[in-house]
Homo-oligomer: A and B are copies of this chain.
Amino acid sequence: MARRGTSKTLSGDVYSQLRDAILLGQVRPGERLKPTALREEYDVSISVVREVLTRLAEQRLVVAEPNQGFSVAPLTRAHLEELVEARCSIEGLAIRMSVARGDLEWESKVLAVHHRLEGTPIWLEGPEKVINPEWVSVHAAFHATLLEACGNSIILDVCASLFDMAELYRRWNETGTSTVTRDVAKEHRDLAAAALEHDAELAEKLLVEHIRTTRDMALTGIPALAREAAGEQPA
Chain A positions near chain B (C-beta within 8 angstroms)? 7-9, 12, 47, 50-51, 54-55, 58-59, 66-67, 82-83, 85-86, 89-90, 93, 152-155, 158, 162
Contacts and interface: CB of A to CB of B under 8 A. Distances in A.
Number of copies: 2
B66 A152 contact: no
Chain A at the B interface: mostly helix, strand, loop or mixed? Answer: helix
- Name which of A58, A89, A155 has the most chain B CB atoms within 10 A of its CB: A89
A12 B51 contact: no
A155 B84 CA distance: 11
A152 B86 contact: yes
B59 A9 contact: no
Closest 8 CB pairs of A and B: A8-B66, A58-B58, A86-B154, A82-B154, A9-B66, A86-B155, A82-B152, A55-B58
Contacts of A59: 58
Nearest to A155: B86
A93 B94 CA distance: 12
Contacts of A86: 152, 154-155, 158
25 contacts: A7-B66, A8-B66, A8-B67, A9-B67, A12-B66, A50-B51, A51-B51, A51-B54, A54-B55, A55-B58, A82-B152, A82-B153, A82-B154, A82-B155, A83-B154, A85-B152, A85-B154, A86-B154, A86-B155, A89-B93, A89-B155, A90-B90, A90-B93, A90-B158, A154-B162
Nearest to A93: B89
A156 to B, nearest CB: 10
A142 to B, nearest CB: 23
Contacts of A55: 54-55, 58
Contacts of A153: 82
A90 B155 contact: yes
Contacts of A47: 47
Nearest to A50: B51
A152 B84 CA distance: 10
Contacts of A85: 152, 154-155
A64 to B, nearest CB: 9
A147 to B, nearest CB: 13
A162 B157 CA distance: 12
